[in-house]
Amino acid sequence: MNALHFTGLVMLTVGAYLATRSIFLAYKHPLLNPVFLSTIVIIGALQTGGFTLEDYRPAREAMTFLLGPATVALALPLYNNRKVLIKHALPVLSGVVAGSLATMAAALLAGQLLQLGDGVLLSLGPKSVTVPIAVEISRLSGGEATLTAAFVVATGMIGSILGPTALSLLRVKNPVARGLALGTVSHGQGTAVALMESETAGAMSGVAMAIAAVFTALVAPYYLPLFLR
Amino acid sequence: MTRNLLHMTWQILLLWLLFRLGSYLVDLLGVSLPGNVAGMLILFALLSTGVVKPALVETGGGFLLKHFAFFFIPISVGLMAFGALMRQSGVALLAILALSAMVGMAVTGISVEFLHKRSSR
């Protein structure tokens, strides 16, 4: 892997992001989700150019370097919305807990119905939690880490594309409720969409992501086995 | 412009240090929490107690949050490695992920909307 390839792959990614972002901002349609479109464009380009995922890895490491500090920065909208958070502490906590339990149960029950093996089912368990913690939960409960990572990313994509429309169809209009739902199910990617809806939704989504991560880590080892045969 | 850029770089560095601090503390205490979430909670505590003023991290933090979605693109490209699995049982897996995501979304969204209406009446 040389410096030219590295630079090219970074430019491809940044370019795809800037282009799809301006398309999304112009039309605001959930299917035009920048992460979704950019991912398709980049995978297509990599395959056309004969690149493997291994070739892309150095560029990926460099570009995700700031995800840590970006997540830390979620404290800002959270702080700006602290009054909303304190006022609605009970609905926030119970909503995130209920949603986390429900989405895990739905995934494992559906998986069992389709006769997936225990390994795949356990890997599905923590799919709504942010990647670093989901991988850890998966490993501890007997799932496969790489599979879980793929499920987490796919869930983030699905939730951020279908979520806003589904919530509108269900007449969930309150930004607090919308943000919490997006963050509980679709972690950081849901939060990215919530941030584009409003600052309050973004803040709540960040909160939901944190609570869901901690809660899932605590209950998964006891809760997931209930759904295995 | 240059001053602004410097300002932003310094603030992002500060946020990065908080991220490292969070990761370090999580490791040290053996808590099952990702370091970035721990860092977020630390910054929230610092802001709430007034130790850190929002202006100290607002420029850099605002920039990172504006482009929060960007970071998930390189991560999502990793899905490329699962082409074989997707061809084999992709439809079933996608159906499960979509169904369970919508169930979770509905449960959280509807319950919070309901409790919120009741508590603000």
Domain boundaries, chain A: 3-65, 73-227
- How far does B88 lie from chain A, in Å, by closest CA? 12
In this complex, is the C-beta atom of A86 within 8 Å of any C-beta atom belonging to chain B? no
The reply to whether B45 and B86 lie within a common domain is no
- DSSP symbol at A167: H
The reply to whether B49 and B87 lie within a common domain is no
Phi, psi of B57, rounded to the nearest 5 degrees: -125, 5
- Which helix or strand (DSSP H or E) is residue A71 part of? helix A67-73
Q: Can you list the pairs that A150-153 forms with residues at least 24 positions away whose Cβ atoms lie under 8 Å?
A: A150/B78, A150/B79, A150/B81, A150/B82, A150/B85, A151/A123, A151/A124, A151/A127, A151/B93, A151/B97, A152/A126, A152/A127, A152/A128, A152/A187, A153/A189, A153/B72, A153/B75, A153/B76, A153/B78, A153/B79
The reply to whether B85 and B116 lie within a common domain is yes
Indicate the pTM of the whole model. Answer: 0.84
Is residue A210 predicted with pLDDT exceeding 70? yes
The reply to whether B9 and B61 lie within a common domain is yes
For residues A25-31, average pLDDT: 86
Cβ separation B40–A74 shorter than 8 A = yes
The reply to whether B47 and B80 lie within a common domain is no
Looking at chain A, which residue has its C-alpha nearest residue B110? A172
The reply to whether B15 and B62 lie within a common domain is yes
Q: For residue A145, what are the contacts with CB-CB under 8 A and spacing of at least 6? A: A135, A138, A139
The reply to whether B10 and B62 lie within a common domain is yes
Dihedral angle, C-alpha A206, A207, A213, A216, nearest 10 °: -140
Q: Among B18, B49, B72, which would you mutate to test the A interface (most chain A Cβ atoms within 10 Å of its Cβ)?
A: B72
The reply to whether B4 and B61 lie within a common domain is yes
Q: What is the three-class DSSP state of B34? A: coil
Low-confidence spans in chain B with pLDDT less than 50: none
Domain of B102?
75-121
User: In this structure, what token pair is assigned to residue B94?
Assistant: 């996608």
The reply to whether B58 and B109 lie within a common domain is no
pLDDT in tens, A129-146: 988 788 878 877 888 888
- How far does A1 lie from chain B, in Å, by closest CA? 17
Is there a contact between A75 and B43 (Cβ–Cβ < 8 Å)? yes
The reply to whether B3 and B59 lie within a common domain is yes
The reply to whether B28 and B83 lie within a common domain is no
Contacts of B55 in chain A (CB under 8 A): none
Which residue of A100, A133, A218 is in closest CB contact with B34?
A133
Domain count, chain B: 2
Domain boundary residue, one of B46, B66, B86: B66
Interface of A with B in 22-51 (CB under 8 A): 34-36, 38-39, 42-43, 46-47
Is residue A1 predicted with pLDDT exceeding 60? no
pLDDT of A78 reads: 85
pLDDT in tens, A47-98: 999 999 999 999 998 998 998 899 899 899 889 888 888 888 999 999 999 9
| Residue predicted with more confidence, A1 or A115 | A115
In this complex, is the C-beta atom of A211 within 8 Å of any C-beta atom belonging to chain B? no
pLDDT of B45 reads: 95
The reply to whether B34 and B84 lie within a common domain is no
For residues A19-34, average pLDDT: 89
